[in-house]
Amino acid sequence: MINCIRTDSESKDFQNLVSELDADLLIRDGEEHSFYAQFNKIDKIRYAIVAYDNGIPFGCGAIKEYSPGTMEVKRMYVLPARRGQGIASLILKQLELWAIELNSTRCILETGFKQLEAIALYKKNGYTFIPNYGQYVDVENSVCFEKVLSGK
């Protein structure tokens, strides 16, 4: 049975999954990895979700406040053996519900053009392209999305 547990960056399971994510991104992003890594520190993340199956962690995601009313989705990852089962969408939906509880009206995020699975995930879940924001402005390999949240 799959359980999505709310936690924060102190969670060892979250930290371990993020380490696997970073190893994967290092391969995918190559030389650009260090640029992106500076924006993906997890030491102060207060809102993280870890997905478990029979007590074994296999997926994660997080949100952090970007600006009042806007949460940024961060550190989405599912172990390769568990991909294609709708787990990332489940985690994303749980993060969106949490964002609504925190009085946010939208979620934004950045991913890379090389992250084809991520782009497909966000489009499938109602995210739309927006101009690159913040530190990603003028970064050619970044693509940014937003979703207006409903349920308030």
d(CA 36, CA 128): 21
d(CA 42, CA 91): 17
pLDDT of 28 reads: 63
Report the amino acid identity of residue 105: T
Q: Which residues of 25-61 are buried (b: 16+ CB within 10 A; e: fewer)?
A: beeebeebeeebeeebebeebebbbbbeeeeebbbbb
d(CA 63, CA 107): 8
Q: Please state the pTM of the whole predicted model.
A: 0.89
Ordered per-residue pLDDT tens for the chain, 152 residues: 899 999 999 999 999 999 999 888 777 666 654 555 555 556 679 999 999 999 999 999 999 999 999 999 999 999 999 999 999 999 999 999 999 999 999 999 999 888 899 999 999 999 999 999 998 999 888 999 999 998 64
Q: Domain range holding 18? A: 2-148
Report the amino acid identity of residue 75: R
146 three-class SS:
strand
Q: What is the CATH number of the domain that holds 17?
A: 3.40.630.30
10 three-class SS:
coil
Domain count, the chain: 1
The residue whose two tokens read 């993340």 is 45
